[in-house]
Homo-oligomer: A and B are copies of this chain.
Amino acid sequence: MSLNKLSSQYNQRLTALLEQLFPDVGVDKQLHSLPNAVRYASLSGGKRLRPLLVYAAGEALGVNATVLDQPALAVELIHCYSLVHDDLPSMDDDDLRRGQATVHRAFDEATAILAGDLLQAQAFNLLANQTGVAASCINESMQIVSKAALDMVKGQSLDLAFENHSPNQAELEQMLQLKTGALIRASVLIPTAYVEQLPAAHCQALADFAESIGLAFQIRDDVLDITGDTEVLGKPQGSDAGLNKAAWPSQFGVEAANVRVGQLYERAIVALEHFGESADFLRFLAERMIKRSY
């Protein structure tokens, strides 16, 4: 099967799982805005990059996809919650996300805050209720995801603080590693929780891959925010720059940003050498993360 097709199949699998988790309640919108908002936040498209990374790292380690369904959903829910909260008026104040009204615009602010809160709780509830795997594996997956959820919030807080402060490259990249990198790293590392006696070198190689590709991905995203257009991005071009946000390319130049992305991408690919062909799906996603124009 082509990797493109494999990717679509996993994507459909995720849609089906999300539809099952958040079924269309089809009732009075006023009294039931929360379930509708949660559906809207998690089922309105998106690249589903993080859960795909979970499955792809699972392929590299030989972990069955069924075992990874709940953790894959969990990282997607954590990601969705972070988008809903980051878009709020007091944060990035965004009106558009994935080409649609953001949750607080489509519903209201209170519903958006609660939808985010519920998505985070739901993620941990899914992890806690995994079946068919050892309790110790469940714990390890919860440790990985909860650590990322903590780091992500710290990263967002630094990002807001940088609006009034010009960080140097190391500070900026540390923020990006927390804000975006932490959950990407967690996604790639989750399958290690289900492998008994995994050699430490394999775990380290996946961590190296994830850290490099996660940072490259965010810098590429910030370049697109400057050079892309609204229709393709699904959000207004320059929407981050408009807030005086400290972004890699605006601080150090688009050209230098592209060089840095190339460097990090190469490092990520080298880290996968350990895994031979079993990492082809990871390589495919890494390329998509960097070469995308949206």
- Give the interface of A toward B (CB within 8 A): 30-34, 81, 85, 88, 90-91, 108-111, 113-114, 116-118, 120-122, 124-125, 127-129, 134-136, 138-139, 142-143, 146-147, 149-150, 152-154, 156-158, 160-161, 164-165
Contact = CB atoms under 8 A, between A and B. Distances in A.
Given A113-B113, A116-B117, A135-B134, A146 B161 contact: no
Given A143-B128, A153-B34, A161-B30, A90 B118 contact: no
B113 A88 contact: yes
A153 B109 contact: no
Nearest to A117: B153
B117 A146 contact: no
18 contacts: A30-B161, A30-B164, A34-B153, A34-B154, A34-B157, A91-B113, A111-B157, A114-B156, A114-B157, A117-B117, A120-B121, A124-B142, A125-B147, A125-B150, A128-B142, A135-B139, A138-B139, A142-B142
Determine how many copies of this chain the complex contains. Answer: 2
Nearest to A149: B121
A284 to B, nearest CB: 31
A149 B32 CA distance: 18
A256 B2 CA distance: 68
A108 B91 CA distance: 10
A106 B32 CA distance: 32
A109 B88 CA distance: 10
Contacts of A139: 128, 135, 138-139
A230 to B, nearest CB: 24
Nearest to A144: B128
A138 to B, nearest CB: 5
Contacts of A122: 150
Contacts of A150: 118, 121-122, 125
A141 B31 CA distance: 31
Contact of A33 (B33, B120, B135, B161): B161
Nearest to A122: B150
Interface centre among A30, A121, A122 (most CB of B within 10 A): A121
A116 B91 CA distance: 14
Nearest to A119: B153
Nearest to A167: B31
Contact of A120 (B108, B117, B160): B117
